[in-house]
């Protein structure tokens, strides 16, 4: 056994060490967003090039989750955790010293390689270090740190960029990484390695390329809203990824020592954990992207003010840490996970009802509370259910798979929610401008094309651009501005309905997938 029934004080230092790593790796998913304007000005680069600073991290991160988990099982989780922690820390230092956009994109990929290991291995290390009720509490803390790091990204980024410059968002990781590495070496106990097992190199290669193609296809769709799903830039990647999934399943089912033991998917509880993780990524973490744009670009809050307001959601992770951990051990996942997902769905429906064309965020407070409660309760429950439903030697593999589902759900959600929002945005831009009879036809056509090309994120920026200054002199400019604002709000209503549907459907499915009987550690 990799853990004893009695939890020692040293075990809690292990939790501190891995949580430091998780905090850094997930913080860097969102912290860079608020620094993009400064980076663009510094490197004088285009917005499409700038997007790859985010996409490079997302792509490499998703690709490496499964691979690093398997390497941890083969060669030791502590060894691989320390290696990936070192890679992440050095990658952060390199990012802070980048002298061009291309260098920064490359070093972000290096960062993500380390970040994927920190996320995936940390969950399996926590699960193997703790047992019984202590495991539920520890995974609750781990999940809460993961929630907080993602939500605090814009706030931390805003503070660092405002106080120093964009390089500070990467440089701050270096001392934290060094501290985490020292603690990891001192406190983490090496896991039992899998001996006398042939390494499934082909499975590793196929799984890596498979995830790469699927995520890259979604990124292509996200970056080019004018591309249809049948556009070869998108469809070739998605179809290639699906074909490799089939090849991977066939291959793994025939090997004696596969990269992923597909028998874990015969466990209904594990499948439920994967579905819940996908729904959480697609329904909440992807939603944060569009919520942030609403608060900043349309309600007019700064990055720092937006981050502070979103603390109402992430703050529950801190408050409910002990409660979530204990409840995930005492309440059956059949009720805990499905109930938490449905609570999030209800929050989306409440936001859909209360969100008018108000310029204040206070109408969203009831929904924010439900988002926070749901997120704080469901994350540790998913982790606990996933590792409790498999054999001890499958913990590393199961944590990697669940994290891939969560990350893929986030990437998929960003694209689907983006398409949902953009369709409504375009429709209401067209109908709204057509109602302004004073606007000349040629000006209407030019403005429509400009707003469509910029996309919903930059609608307000188009109106405030130098090329649109003439519009400000028009007596009906306020009507034009209202059309753009209302179009985004209409889009957000569709996004909220989509998220609510996803959460409620996933909650119902999970209710029937999870067994009613008590789990056995």
Compute the distance between CA of residue 366 and CA of residue 62 in angstroms, rounded to an integer: 33
Q: pLDDT digit string (tens) for 182-191?
A: 999 988 888 7
Mean pLDDT, the chain, as a whole number?
Answer: 82
Any idea which of 89-98, 418-427, 501-510 has the lowest mean pLDDT?
418-427
Task: Please give the C-alpha separations between residue 178 and each of 15, 197, 353, in angstroms, as whole numbers.
Answer: 16, 33, 47
Cα–Cα distance measured from residue 50 to residue 104, given in angstroms and rounded to the nearest whole number:
10
More confident: 322 or 103: 103
> Which whole number is the average pLDDT over 140-168?
79
Looking at the predicted structure, is the pLDDT value of residue 417 above 80?
A: yes
Cα 131 off chain centre by: 27
Asked whether the whole model's pTM tops 0.75, one would answer yes
User: What whole-number distance in Å separates Cα of residue 80 and Cα of residue 17?
Assistant: 14
Structure tokens at 105: 């994109």
| Encoded tokens for 127 | 């699960």
Residue 441: partners with Cβ closer than 8 Å, 6 or more residues away: none
Q: Cβ neighbours of residue 215 under 8 Å, at least 6 residues apart?
A: 58, 59, 62, 63, 408, 411
- Of all residues in the chain, the percent with pLDDT exceeding 90 is 22
Q: Is the pLDDT of residue 518 over 50?
A: no
Average pLDDT estimate for 330-334: 78
- 217 and 416 Cβ atoms separated by less than 8 Å: no
Q: Which residue has the higher pLDDT, 236 or 4?
A: 236
Q: Is the pLDDT of residue 305 over 70?
A: yes
Distance, CA of 190 to CA of 32 (rounded, Å) = 33
Q: Residue 505 has what pLDDT?
A: 96
In the numeric block, the tokens 């409440």 are attached to 350
Q: Measured over all CA atoms, what is the biggest interatomic distance in the chain, rounded to whole angstroms? A: 79
**pLDDT > 80? residue 200:** no
Highest mean pLDDT among 134-138, 216-220, 423-427: 423-427
CA distance 430 to 493: 18
């Amino acid at each position: 056994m990799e853990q004893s029934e009695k939890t020692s004080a040293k075990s809690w230092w292990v939790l501190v060490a891995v949580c430091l790593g998780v905090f850094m790796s997930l913080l860097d998913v969102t912290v860079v967003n608020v620094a993009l304007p400064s980076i663009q000005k510094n490197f004088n680069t285009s917005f499409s090039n700038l997007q790859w600073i985010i996409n490079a991290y997302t792509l490499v991160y998703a690709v490496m989750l499964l691979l690093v988990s398997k390497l941890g099982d083969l060669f030791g989780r502590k060894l691989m955790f320390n290696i990936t922690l070192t890679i992440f820390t050095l990658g952060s230092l390199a990012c802070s010293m980048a002298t061009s956009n291309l260098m920064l994109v490359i070093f972000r990929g290096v960062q993500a390689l380390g970040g994927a290991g920190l996320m995936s291995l940390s969950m399996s290390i926590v699960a193997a270090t703790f047992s019984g009720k202590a495991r539920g509490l520890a995974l609750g803390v781990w999940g809460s740190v993961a929630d907080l790091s993602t939500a605090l990204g814009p706030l931390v980024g805003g503070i660092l960029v405002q106080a120093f410059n964009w390089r500070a968002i990467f440089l701050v990781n270096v001392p934290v990484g060094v501290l985490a590495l020292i603690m990891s070496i001192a406190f983490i106990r090496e896991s039992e390695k899998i001996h006398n097992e042939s390494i499934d190199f082909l499975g590793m290669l196929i799984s890596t390329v498979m995830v790469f193609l699927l995520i890259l296809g979604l990124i292509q769709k996200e970056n080019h809203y004018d591309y249809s799903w049948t556009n070869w830039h998108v469809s070739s990647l998605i179809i290639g990824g699906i074909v490799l999934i089939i090849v991977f399943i066939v291959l793994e089912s025939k090997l004696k020592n596969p990269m992923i033991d597909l028998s874990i998917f015969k466990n209904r509880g594990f499948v439920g954990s994967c579905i819940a993780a996908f729904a959480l990524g697609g329904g909440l973490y992807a939603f944060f992207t569009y919520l942030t744009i609403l608060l900043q670009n349309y309600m007019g809050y700064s990055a720092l003010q937006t981050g502070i307001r979103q603390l109402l959601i992430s703050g529950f992770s801190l408050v409910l840490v002990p409660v979530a951990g204990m409840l995930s051990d005492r309440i059956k996942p059949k009720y805990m996970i499905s109930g938490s997902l449905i609570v999030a769905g209800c929050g989306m429906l409440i936001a859909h009802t209360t969100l008018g064309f108000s310029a204040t965020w206070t109408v969203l407070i009831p929904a924010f509370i439900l988002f926070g409660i749901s997120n704080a309760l469901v994350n540790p429950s998913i982790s606990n259910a996933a590792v409790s439903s498999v054999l001890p030697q499958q913990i590393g593999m199961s944590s990697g798979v669940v994290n891939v589902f969560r990350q893929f759900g986030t990437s998929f959600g960003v694209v689907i929610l983006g398409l949902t929002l953009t369709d409504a945005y375009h429709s209401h831009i067209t109908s709204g401008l057509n109602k302004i009879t004073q606007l000349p036809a040629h000006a209407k056509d030019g403005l429509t094309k400009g707003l469509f090309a910029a996309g919903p994120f930059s609608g307000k920026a188009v109106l405030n651009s130098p090329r649109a200054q003439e519009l400000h002199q028009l007596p009906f400019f306020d009507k034009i501005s209202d059309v753009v604002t209302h179009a985004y709000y209409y889009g957000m209503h569709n996004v909220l309905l989509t998220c609510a549907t996803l959460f409620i459907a996933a909650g119902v499915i999970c209710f029937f997938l999870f067994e009613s009987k008590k789990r056995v550690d």
